[in-house]
Amino acid sequence: MKLKSLWQWSRRAPGSTSRNATEERESTDQNATVKRGQDGTKQHRALHLDGLKGLIALQAWVYAFFLILCPGVITDTAVDGAQPAAFLLGGPQWQDKIRTVMSPLLFDGSLQVSFFLVISARFISEGESRFFRNPDIAVLSRSIYLRPHRFVPLVAVAVASTRILLALQAFNSANRWSERLPSLYSVAPASFSSFQEYLYFLTSFFFSTHDHLDYRPDSFYLPPRNTSWALARTFQQSFTVYALLVILPFVRAKDRLGGLAAFALVAAWVGSWAWYSVSGVIISDLCHRGVLQSMSRSSWKVGQVAVRKCTFATCLFLVGAMLKYAGAVWPSVRKAELVAHAAQSTARLNHNFDTSQKAYPRFDNWFVVMAILCLVEMSPRMRKVLSSRLLRTFCKLSLALHLVSGLVIQTLGSELVEVSIARTNRIGTILSTKDFSVALAIAFILGMANLLIRAAIGAALP
């Protein structure tokens, strides 16, 4: 009770009136569903966040699909960092156009990882633990306790399934397709030699802090290659958010935003993934106090012209989009941004940084993610669209999609591609035949049909 009273005192900014507090509570409760939890407290769930996470999960599935079967649509860089990659040589021109026009904002992989990190922080601070609304330490403790139970069993089952599929030789077609492209993104995952190695993988998966992809065991044991690190990083960064939630109730509202912004700035400077997690907490704090909702209804006076305050989010999105498209057209620009960060090992700027071997947070992704989250909170219409039951069902399947999509695409998807091009005799002409496009279309349609059926079943169930 004392903690809740202290929280109510700390959230009052100087000069705030009861009318402002009432408007703040009304704007915060907008688009939130209230339901009774097991502990007897009221749970507030922002449905549009569920829908947005479901939409990003679908984009991540499309990314995994193309990375395994047609990596030229996703990237021009091989696993070893070679540019242009071998799978681009002699390939069709349409994959270059898709990679330049559609991939940067729809399914380039890094943007989806950035979304998951920021939205995960928002879920923890605003949705899952509900600590901003009801600062009960028991609720926060329960959320921390259940966090490993939601990740560890699913990862353990996914890795065990990989071992079973390897024993059944289900990845033979994936290996043949990898040789034909050629691409290491399509190669079958590695196998465990003992149960002790299996336990070592589970331990290092969740607790290894290496960002170098070759040092992480999940780069080899979970398909597609060099992608599963994002799940482990999301799990680790959630405890950064939990630590912040213990401190924030004792910080006044006027100092809270400045402290979080300083934390995010330092994390961005040293290239820490806490940069994205703290940004998610900042968005939750602004939404809790109704700042973003009030900005959508107010304007700045610039001479005789009134400029809507929500314009800043649009400008933020345009800056991020321009940076991403510049990196897609000119690969040198993609690496030039990293020079603005300090290397954690040398305390110098990131010169000669190999982006293919180490995951790194980027400004262009941060601009796009923060702009979209701000625009969603400012637009009731966008929140209504994202609150659809179909998208929220994909949110429930997001973790399963991330773990299973690579296995399904490498086994069934590569088999469909191989069957479709079985009548092609010359390996060198595979990538330029219509059969390749037909095979991709068939595999994509079947995979999406499976996902839609599962989502429809989940939406129909109470």
Q: In the numeric block, which tokens belong to residue 147?
A: 């966090």
Which of the 8 DSSP states describes residue 308?
E
Average the pLDDT over each of 177-186, 384-393, 414-423, 427-436 and give the range with the smallest value. 427-436
Residue 436: pLDDT band with limits 50, 70, 90: low
Mean pLDDT of 376-405: 85
> Is a pLDDT exceeding 90 seen at residue 369?
yes
**Span 378-387, average pLDDT:** 87
Which of the given ranges, 26-35, 36-45, 190-199, 204-213, has the highest pLDDT on average?
A: 190-199
The H or E element that residue 23 is part of is helix 18-29
Whether 348 has a pLDDT exceeding 50, the answer reads yes
pLDDT tens track for 12-62? 444 444 444 444 444 444 444 434 443 333 444 578 888 888 888 888 888
Q: Which long-range contacts (CB under 8 A, 24 or more apart) does 144-148 make?
A: 144/239, 144/242, 147/235, 147/238, 147/239, 148/206, 148/235
* pLDDT tens column, 153-171: 888 888 888 888 888 888 8
Residue with the bigger pLDDT between 335 and 16: it is 335
Determine what percent of the chain is predicted with pLDDT higher than 70. Answer: 73
Query: Is pLDDT of 63 > 80?
Result: yes
CA 113, 342, 327, 68 dihedral sign is: negative
- pLDDT of res. 16: 43
d(CA 347, CA 360): 16
Token pair belonging to 325: 């498209």
**Rounded Cα distance, 275 and 196, in Å:** 35
Residue 409's pLDDT is 85
| Mean pLDDT, all residues of the chain | 75
* pLDDT number for residue 367: 93
Q: Is the pLDDT confidence value at 131 over 80?
A: no
How far is Cα 462 from Cα 403, in angstroms, rounded to an integer? 25
As a whole number, mean pLDDT of residues 225-232 equals 80
Residue 347 pLDDT: 65
Over residues 406-414, the mean pLDDT reads: 83
Is the pLDDT at 100 greater than 70? The verdict is yes
User: What letter represents residue 263's amino acid?
Assistant: F
Positive/negative CA dihedral, 107, 110, 113, 118: negative
Check residue 10 and give its pLDDT.
47
Q: Nearest Cα to 271, choosing from 374, 343, 332?
A: 343
108, pLDDT greater than 90: no
User: Bridge partners of 36?
Assistant: 42
Cβ neighbours of residue 76 closer than 8 Å, sequence gap 6 or more = 83, 84, 85, 88, 99, 331
Burial of 201 (0-12, 13-18, 19+ CB in 10 A): buried
Residue-range domain boundaries for the chain: 30-460
What's the pTM value of the predicted model, to 2 decimals?
A: 0.78
| Mean pLDDT along residues 147-157 | 87
